[in-house]
């Protein structure tokens, strides 16, 4: 057992897995740019109130899962928390930097780690990575459909062809109170059947009961009143608009009337992405929705918004379980090795020159024998070895083709152009 280990619920991403993440990050960046989203970064921690107000006090994320951060000393009396998600921080930044004066909508994207102190298990980590996309300042419904299509495209391009989207509308402040009253009355009629936590939530946040993790709640939830049946005229029209736009761009979706999401800021459209047939806990590959009240809640002018976050860890896991090939790693084109065990400066100088010319090169800086240096170069998949030996006095090195095992002397001055020519297209 090693003395020090990564904290429970966190993982080291070793190079092969990091390469899989990097491929997804590249895809996310490329798609975000293609759809007109610009990158933003917000801090990994914020004033706790940003999350408490934004996400809601009576949510798992805030009640149980916030990593509180307190400085051990200093002038700061602030109570901070590591970000459990990015939307609240992005909306805080929108308000702080007066983005309501920019052309609307402001379309932003962010990829990075989030932190939730939850019970770790497969697919649920205490540090995990999300790709976020947010369109702030557009009331929809067309942008709702555009975002859903973007999410599905990401999964498809990533190599997951069987992802479907579940869609719902949970109304707005005009129609939600009456629906919540109806929902609470329904669950009160069944209060005997409710587990302790759900009884408490019945009084504070009845919508959350629809998202209960208790298996014993499944039947009750299935028979509960649906928000889609209680939408006001404006919300109903909006939801019809979302569906019509999805149809118009040929996006298949599934209506899921009990999809409520775990964060309080949502209004109207909510959606989640799953692999077909895998809809349990910890299985959502991504989710999002509209948050028309969030900017105002954080001190800005009333501003509509919608976005999603896709969980990159879960996408990598899904790709692995679907048997996708690991991402090819590129070894160095060449390794500079030397017969003289003390001439590491000579090897480093040649490697530096080749790197300056844009070639991926490793210098063997060890004192091991030449044969061992060559073995290591073969093992890491290098195509060439540049061998520094006696010919160096005449300005030559030996260039060994490790794939073909041939070797010949070449002038040091020609090495860059020769290697470039030989590796073009490799
Ligand atoms: P969320 O549903 O809480 O939404 O998280 C989005 C995705 O992040 C999940 O579907 C899942 O793939 C991944 N995820 C969440 N928690 C974990 C975890 N503990 N371990 C691994 N993966 C996890 C949000 O975060 C919203 N901010 C999405 C959004 C953006 N809504 C509007 N804009």
**Nearest residue by C-alpha to atom 16 in ligand 1:** 124
Q: Give the three-class secondary structure for 151.
A: helix
Nearest to 221 by CA among 205, 210, 208: 210
* Closest C-alpha among 28, 31, 8, 13 to residue 326: 13
What is the Cα–Cα distance from 221 to 213, expressed in whole angstroms? 11
Please count the CA atoms within 13 angstroms of the CA of 402 that sit on its side-chain side: 25
**What long-range pairs does 340-348 form, CB within 8 A, spacing at least 24?**
340/388, 340/389, 341/367, 341/368, 341/369, 342/367, 343/388, 346/388, 346/392, 347/388
Count of beta carbons in the 10 Å neighbourhood of residue 371: 9
Compute the distance from residue 285 Cα to the ligand 1 centre, in Å.
8
Residue 264, classed as helix, strand or coil, is coil
On whether the CB atoms of residues 37 and 110 are closer than 8 A, the answer is no
CA of 318 to the centre of ligand 1 (A): 16
The residue whose C-alpha atom lies closest to atom 12 belonging to ligand 1 is: 311
Beta bridge partners of 177: none
Closest ligand 1 atom to residue 285 Cα is 12
The pocket around ligand 1, CB under 6 angstroms, is made up of 85-87, 116, 118, 123-125, 128, 130, 132, 134, 262-263, 284-289, 291, 307-309, 311, 313-314
122 contacts 130 by C-beta, under 8 angstroms: no
pLDDT along the chain (426 residues), means of 10: 93 94 97 98 96 87 89 72 97 98 98 96 96 97 98 96 96 94 94 88 87 85 94 98 98 93 92 89 91 96 98 95 81 91 92 95 95 94 94 92 90 94 73
Pick from 89, 133, 287 the residue to mutate for probing ligand 1's pocket: most ligand atoms within 8 Å of its CB.
287
pLDDT value at residue 60: 85
Cα-based distances in Å from 268 to 54, 58, 103, 265, 406: 16, 19, 24, 10, 68
> For ligand 1, atom 20, which residue shows the shortest CA distance?
124
| Range list of β-strands (E), 80-193 | 80-82, 106-115, 127-136, 163-169
Say if residue 322 is preceded by a cis peptide, omega within 30 of 0: no
Tell me how crowded residue 6 is: count the other CB atoms within 10 A of its CB. 9
How far apart CA 217 and CA 98 sit, in angstroms, is 44
For 250, the token pair is 């040929």
- Cis? peptide before 412, omega within 30° of 0: no
Ligand 1 atom nearest the C-alpha of 84 is: 25
Ligand 1, atom 32: closest residue by C-alpha = 307
The secondary structure of residue 126, as a DSSP letter, is: S
Rounded CA-CA distance 247/145 in Å is: 9
């Amino acid at each position: 057992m090693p003395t020090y280990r990564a904290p429970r619920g966190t993982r080291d991403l070793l190079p092969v897995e990091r390469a899989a993440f990097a491929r997804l990050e590249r895809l996310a960046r490329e798609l975000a740019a293609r759809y007109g989203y610009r990158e933003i970064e917000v801090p990994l921690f914020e004033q706790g109130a940003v999350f408490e107000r934004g996400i809601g006090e009576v949510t798992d994320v805030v009640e149980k899962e916030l990593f509180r951060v307190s400085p051990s000393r200093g002038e700061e009396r602030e109570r901070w928390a590591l970000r459990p998600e990015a939307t609240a921080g992005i909306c805080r930044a929108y308000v702080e930097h007066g983005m309501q004066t920019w052309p609307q909508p402001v379309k932003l994207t962010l990829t990075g780690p989030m932190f939730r102190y939850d019970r770790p298990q497969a697919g649920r980590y205490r540090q995990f990575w999300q790709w976020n996309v947010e369109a702030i300042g557009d009331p929809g419904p067309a942008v709702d459909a555009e975002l859903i299509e973007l999410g599905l495209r990401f999964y498809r391009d990533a190599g997951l062809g069987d992802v479907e989207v579940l869609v719902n509308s949970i109304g707005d402040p005009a129609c939600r109170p009456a629906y919540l009253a109806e929902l609470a009355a329904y669950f009160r009629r069944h209060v005997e059947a409710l587990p302790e936590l759900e009884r408490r939530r019945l009084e504070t946040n009845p919508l959350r009961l629809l998202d209960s993790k208790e298996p014993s709640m499944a039947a009750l939830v299935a028979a509960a009143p649906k928000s889609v049946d209680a939408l006001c005229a404006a919300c109903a029209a909006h939801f019809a608009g979302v569906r019509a736009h999805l149809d118009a761009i040929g996006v298949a979706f599934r209506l899921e009337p009990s999809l409520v999401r775990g964060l309080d800021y949502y209004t109207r459209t909510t959606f989640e992405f799953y692999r077909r047939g895998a809809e349990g806990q910890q299985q959502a590959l991504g989710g999002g929705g509209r948050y028309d009240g969030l900017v105002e809640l954080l001190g800005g002018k009333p501003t509509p918004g919608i976005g999603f976050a896709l969980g990159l860890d879960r996408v990598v896991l899904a790709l692995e379980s679907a048997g996708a090939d690991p991402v090819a790693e590129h070894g160095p084109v060449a390794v500079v090795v030397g017969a003289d065990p003390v001439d590491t400066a000579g090897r480093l100088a040649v490697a530096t020159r080749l790197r300056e010319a844009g070639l991926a090169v490793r210098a063997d800086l060890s004192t091991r024998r030449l044969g061992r240096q060559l073995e290591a170069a073969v093992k890491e998949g290098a195509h060439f070895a540049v061998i520094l030996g006696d010919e160096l006095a005449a300005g030559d090195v030996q260039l060994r083709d490790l794939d073909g095992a041939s070797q010949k002397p070449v002038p040091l001055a020609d090495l860059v152009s020769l290697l470039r020519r030989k590796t073009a297209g490799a």
